[in-house]
Amino acid sequence: MKVVRLIFLILHLGIFLLLVGMLLNAYVPPKVFPWFNLLSLGFPILISAYILLTIFWIFSWKKRGIVFLLLGLLFFNSVTRWINYSSVKSETPDLKIVSFNAKNGGFGVKNIESYINSQNADIVLFQEYGGNKKYHFEGLKEGPESPIITMFSKYRIIDHKQLIESDYEYNNAYATQTDIEIKGKTYRIINMYLQPFKFEKKMVKLDGNSEEDKQKVKDVVKRLIPTFKMHQEQIAVIRKSVENSPYPVILAGDFNSVPNSYEYYHLVDGLKDAFVEAGKGSATSFHDYKFPIRIDYVFTSESIQPLSYKVDRSVKLSDHYPVLTTFKLER
């Protein structure tokens, strides 16, 4: 039993160090050391193993259980970015936003139109909407056309600017900033779609063949590392728009990045994660793999209060679930 406990202790310490490495994404950019960003992808597994081993030590009446429990508090905020239970807010919302990666409308434009019309949203932000597809929503007008992302709004658009534009060869990302007037005040809406990893299920599914699986892992890493570095460049452009905005900001879209990643830390800087503020349950929004993956987000300036955040799992109109958020705006 002593040998087993020693193995568990070494394993527990190893997992703790990996989780600490993940926290360094707040400071270390991918172009300097991309491997910390890889750790963020495995956070659900790492934290689950850490919690189970902590429970094992506590039930074994070992003092180290208390030590690991206290050290685990370092990762509390990291957990709430995946799973959260906020109290219900009683205020009446001023704004409702739907953000949705529509997978190029492949599940049916009419189905998407019917769903969006049922939501009575004030603003709808699409990613991968299918540039050649036309959507018609009740009471919403489409903003300036873009090939990958688009926006529909009940409110008047004052200004619009492309921040990142895809070249379809090297760069497949896109981001826009749109200034809109809501009840006499101007807000900046940034709709973004960071560089995708372009994975297919067969590329990440391990078959038990050691040589083939090893090659698959190598191929995955070869795609991940360059994409992390591209994200760093794309984030710099978006951060400039946020920091220079004279108006309160709502930043939303498909970040193609998980919580606790370099992308997350540097995009949320100075903003609030609407899920952390008002979400309940799991924030997992990408459902094509049997693994918890949150890559869709809504961030806001401090002056905008998130009242609710819902990942709507009642519909499957894409490989992403729609994200529904409501807000109380500044007076």
Give the closest residue to 71 by CA, choosing from 7, 4, 6, 15. 15
Amino acid at position 274, single letter:
A
Let me know: does 267 contact 275? Beta carbons within 8 Å.
no
Looking at the DSSP assignment, which residues form a beta bridge with residue 107? none
Q: Token pair of 126, please?
A: 């699409």
- What is the per-residue pLDDT for 146? 82
Whether residue 83 contacts residue 283, with contact meaning beta carbons closer than 8 Å, is answered with: yes
Diameter over CA atoms, the chain:
70
Do 149 and 192 meet the contact criterion of CB atoms below 8 Å apart?
A: yes
Q: What is the mean pLDDT of residues 62-71?
A: 92
CA separation for the pair 23, 300 (Å, rounded): 22
The pLDDT of residue 309 is 97
Q: Give per-residue pLDDT as tens, 135-159.
A: 999 999 999 878 899 999 999 999 9
Higher model confidence: residue 90 or residue 17?
Answer: 17
The structure's pTM equals 0.92
The torsion of the CA quartet 278, 284, 287, 288, rounded to 10 degrees, works out to 140
Higher pLDDT, 295 or 60: 295
